[in-house]
Chain A
Amino acid sequence: MDEGKIGNVEMICLLVNAIACKAFFTSVAAVVEKVGTAGWYMVLISDIVAIGVFSQMYALSKAYPGKNLLEIYDDIVGKKVGKVLSFISCIMLFVTVSITLREFTDATNVYLLHESPPGFIVGMFIIAMVTVCFLGIEGLGRVAKFLSFILLFNFLIVMVLSYRTFQGYKLFPILGYGLGNTVRHGIMRSSAFGEFILLGVFAKALNNTKDLGKIGYKSLIIGGLIISIVLFSVIISFPYYVTTELADPLYIMVSLIQYGRFFQRIEVVFIFTWNLSTLIGLTAIFYGSIICYCHVFNIKDKKPIIISFGISTYISTLIVPSISIILDYIVPIFRGYGWIGFYTPIFISWAIWLLFRRGKQTNVEKS
């Protein structure tokens, strides 16, 4: 299947959505529970860690221009180990889709469609995801670009409008549960930005892999800022002990917007931001995991894989019976230790490249 080419802005939009859509769900409460009022800059710490890992990936892609991350793995550690590394990435992306989709489903179920069974919500979501995947990365990138600016605008408007609920003192005590605690969790939760490996996976769809670094840094910074703004506004709207209680603090915050008798209850604007951003982000991650899978098993044609992936996502999303299990075990484990899965392949290949391959490459260049 023809991959199609997308531009830099499109890629940034995809990545930012993939990174930032998590901020609409329970992670906000989870972060506040761990680090209290320090959540908003803890995200920036995570972001810096992720940027650090990304620079390693960038170094790799500079060394192997014109190749995507998976092919780089193959080149560095050999086909067999490379496949294992690619497969780890594939699983990580797949699990990200499932977990985020589950969080999304539960949030939708609570706030929007109370009586619908989760299967219906997930089903519709996956149909949309699969349909757009068939259009290829080109259609996906373009729709991301088309919608992202509107979404960003909506998001900022919502943030500005809810300034009435902002009360500065809620940011204090400024250090939360202590600086050490914040930094530790910041580093651990850097997996929130692990989606940047999509950039490596999609590298071939770019017109020019030279722009990889620029795109990666930009999208990590924008994504970090968005998550940080979300946390900041939630923390400044609700005291920390209330935030930890809320299933979807951002949504509650928006529902508090009230200007006079008529201009209130404007969650609608936010619902679109929330839904569309999740749709774009998850479809990108979903597509990334398909690319990884196809690479691992040498499959040329992605089309038959897409539907089966959709079905497996459906099952894996609904397999956990209750939201309590998700929130108490799965999400904390995934967010807290996900960085192992996301970053290990990059670490390994980067280290091997640095120790063994780089010398050879420079030799080749010299000769």
Chain B
Amino acid sequence: MLRRVRLILLLFFIVFLSISCYDAHEVDDYAYVTTIGVDNGTADKWRFSFQITNMRSSGSKETFDGKETSEYLTITIDAPDFFHAANILDTSIARTINFRHTKYIVLSRDIAEKGEFNETLGPIIRFREIRRTTGVVVSTGTAQSFIEEFNPRIGISMARMQEGLMEQSKQTGFFPEIQLKDFYSGTKSSYRQSVAILAAVNDFSILQQNAEDDENKIELGERKAGELPRKGGNTVEFFGAAVFDGDKMVAEFNGYETRIMLALRGEFKQGVFTFHDPLKPELYVSINLKQQKKPKVKVEFDGDKPVIHVKLLMEGEILSVQSRIDYEEANKIGYLEGAAEDIIKQQAEALIDKAKELNVDFLNFGSYFVKSFLTIQEWEKYNWIERMKDVKATVDVEVKIRRTGTMIKSSPIKGTEEEE
């Protein structure tokens, strides 16, 4: 008996250990691709760029022989198909390319405007290694140059920088947090259209220009990615959004528009709003606004035409008042709230007009109208995505400033030179 059991156990282990472990691969067997990019190619139809890290934490840059190796490299190849490209690259980098930790997919503006997403990178969603939480970015330059610059300048690891960048959407609202699943389902959707993150490489040339005329002055938030007047730090920046109709990119949004778009979609988390002081217009006031509740929406049909009433609810906290006016007081706080409401309402109405003009529902209005339909047949017959141009929309904004920061009052500055 004992012998029989022993024999069976032995056979079991021999057989199983010898035929198993097909999928066992060490961590260092793989080259992990963090970013994928696509451009128009020259040698072949498309040009794919891969950013590959060696998956090492930033702390230990030195290898055994003390030589510093770079943490990432960018490989570019012209190929007719994505996986064809990836497979060919395996032959040169001595490790299998692996997309399990891919964080971003970058489309160049050319590709996006030609609507080639569904031919180039759309199909890769089928591949098991691509996670649907991958971010979708439209680069205003080439994807290749973007990827080459897309790495941390301060000593944090690649993964932390790339993941952290996406998190900033929640803090600022200047770009949408768009994952592949949203983008992909948006291109096929009967409810709405897709947007993507707008990004660019900033060559820091904007800052060096001398002071412009007041008329030409562009407000900071009205700029787009790549145009921010700044210097130093990472050269890449996410700012604004790219709007798609189906899989064709039709418009670029600046920071403010993106923010309002997010607010209308109910996805805005929080962000700093800076605007002219209502009582002293040459100075600025900053408040931090949060969208605590989803917008209140009422929909109805005027005949065949969709009518929508949106009410945005924002809550905020005063961050800074340059004029030192006592907006903390109960009878003055209304000025601030009113000013913020006006600005947001104005921007929202402008954005809705833009949507009607483009006939693209990037505001998710479809998700409200769909509730009036009972069956999928009716809904698809109504063909919502063609109807955006007919929408009649009214926007209400309600801003409540709940907190005033650490100060409940600001005393005037006293000096020999009396100003006030």
Contacts and interface: CB of A to CB of B under 8 A. Distances in A.
Contact of B376 (A169, A240, A260): A240
A169 B370 contact: yes
A177 B374 CA distance: 9
Contact of A173 (B20, B131, B373): B373
Contact of B375 (A111, A175, A238): A175
B44 interface: no
A300 interface: no
A56 interface: no
Contacts of A112: 23
Nearest to B184: A242
B157 to A, nearest CB: 11
Contacts of B377: 177-178
Interface stretch (B186-194, B219-227, B283-291): B186-194
A241 B132 contact: no
B23 A115 contact: yes
B167 interface: yes
B373 A117 contact: no
Contact of A258 (B16, B133, B185): B133
A120 B16 CA distance: 9
B23 A113 contact: yes
Given A115-B23, A178-B377, A241-B188, A264 B133 contact: yes
B322 interface: no
Contacts of A316: none
B107 to A, nearest CB: 20
A167 B128 CA distance: 24
Nearest to A115: B22
Contact of A177 (B132, B188, B376): B376
B386 to A, nearest CB: 17
B186 to A, nearest CB: 9
Contacts of A114: 23, 128
Interface in B127-166: 128, 131-133, 160, 163-164
A258 B181 CA distance: 13
A113 B25 CA distance: 11
A161 to B, nearest CB: 14
Interface size of A as a range: 20 to 34
A174 B179 CA distance: 26
B379 to A, nearest CB: 5
A311 interface: no
Nearest to B266: A167
A116 B20 CA distance: 8
B128 A110 contact: yes
Interface string A157-197: 00000000001011011111110000000000000000000
A242 B185 contact: yes
Contacts of B379: 172-173
A114 B30 CA distance: 15
Nearest to B125: A245
A121 B16 CA distance: 11
B191 A169 contact: yes
Interface string B2-29: 0000000000000010011011000000
Contacts of B179: 256
A169 B373 CA distance: 11
B133 A174 contact: no
B376 A36 contact: yes
A255 interface: yes
B378 A173 contact: yes
B83 interface: no
A255 B132 contact: yes
A178 B185 CA distance: 23
A37 interface: yes
B314 to A, nearest CB: 21
B301 interface: no
B133 A256 contact: yes
Interface in B353-394: 364, 366-368, 370-371, 373-379
A178 B373 contact: no
Contacts of B378: 173
A167 B367 contact: yes
B155 to A, nearest CB: 17
Interface string B27-40: 00000000000000
A37 B376 contact: yes
A239 interface: yes
A175 B374 contact: yes
A170 B190 CA distance: 11
Contact of B160 (A120, A239, A261): A261
B20 A172 contact: no
B19 A120 contact: yes
A252 interface: yes
Contacts of B22: 113, 115-117, 120
Nearest to A251: B128
Interface in B167-191: 167, 179, 181, 184-185, 188-191
Contacts of A258: 133
Interface in A228-282: 238-242, 252, 255-256, 258, 260-261, 264
B4 to A, nearest CB: 15
A174 B160 CA distance: 41
B131 A261 contact: no
Nearest to B378: A173
A111 B127 CA distance: 10
B374 A173 contact: yes
Instruction: With a 10 A CB-CB cut-off, give which of A110, A174, A252, A260 has the most chain B CB atoms.
Output: A174
Contact of B163 (A174, A241, A261): A261
A112 B163 CA distance: 24
Given A173-B379, A256-B132, A260-B167, 4 more contacts: A36-B376, A114-B128, A115-B22, A116-B20
21 contacts: A110-B128, A111-B128, A113-B22, A116-B23, A124-B16, A169-B364, A169-B370, A173-B375, A176-B375, A238-B185, A239-B185, A239-B191, A240-B376, A241-B188, A241-B190, A252-B132, A255-B131, A255-B132, A255-B133, A256-B179, A261-B167
| 3 interchain residue pairs of minimum CB distance | A169-B367, A116-B22, A115-B22
Interface of B: 16, 19-20, 22-23, 128, 131-133, 160, 163-164, 167, 179, 181, 184-185, 188-191, 364, 366-368, 370-371, 373-379
